[in-house]
Homo-oligomer: A and B are copies of this chain.
Amino acid sequence: MAIGIKVSLNDKLYIRDPQETILGQKIIKQSILLIEEIGFESFTFRKLALKMESTEASVYRYFENKHMLLLYLVSWYWEWVGFLIDMNTRNIANPEEKLKVIIHTLIFAAKENPSIEYVNESVLHRIIISEGSKAYHIKTVDEENKEGFFKNYKDLTAKVALVISSINRDFPYPRTLASNLFEMANNHIYFAQHLPRLTDVKVENEDFSEVEKMLEHFAFKILKA
């Protein structure tokens, strides 16, 4: 990933690379805003086209359907988080410190310097929190997995699992903990905002610091020798 230029994603995610044309970039930008506004179930290419002042058929020339568009956005997000984690941990030798930075990046990714004009990272983060799991909870998950549609998420899990293992060589569940940290980060922000009785953390006006503290508590307690 090169900032200001282009995020590299599986080219089977789209029919035509949206990053290459102005119309494509407009689709990305406006779809993020519209999905956040009305939710993924109500989101349609017709409504998107209307908002963009383009046509439904034009959107279909970039993405096969709205599921593929969501998959694209989710992949974009995890690729971006992976990039940020690499940046932020590059000069850190201590693995405990590394994991802390990873957790911080997970939670505050949206607050980092936005890199690309047509992606509102903050709004995209909210979409990942509330719609992200729909990307893989589908009947066709096995075929899509074979096509490599979830590679970004799996690679990121592997990357964090490595750090986890270097903290405690004997810990038998490094991938489990890694993916669970991602899931918990998003879930408990969502719970705090909508179903507070499912969590103990509080989130008030986009302050996720309690979630960060909770994830650190879980991760380091679990990894204690």
Contacts and interface: CB of A to CB of B under 8 A. Distances in A.
Contact of A139 (B38, B174, B218): B38
A133 B137 contact: yes
Given A134-B134, A138-B39, A139-B39, A198 B175 contact: yes
Interface string A122-136: 000000001101101
A203 interface: no
B39 A217 contact: no
Given A41-B138, A41-B139, A194-B142, A175 B187 contact: no
Chain A interface secondary structure, helix, strand, loop or mixed? Answer: helix
Contact of A195 (B141, B158, B176, B218): B141
Interface of A: 38-39, 41-42, 67, 130-131, 133-134, 136-142, 145, 150, 153-154, 157-158, 172-176, 179-180, 183-184, 187-188, 190-191, 194-195, 197-201, 214, 217-218, 221-222, 224
Given A39-B138, A141-B194, 18 more contacts: A41-B139, A133-B137, A142-B194, A154-B195, A158-B197, A172-B217, A175-B197, A175-B198, A175-B200, A176-B188, A176-B201, A179-B198, A179-B199, A180-B187, A183-B183, A221-B221, A221-B222, A222-B222
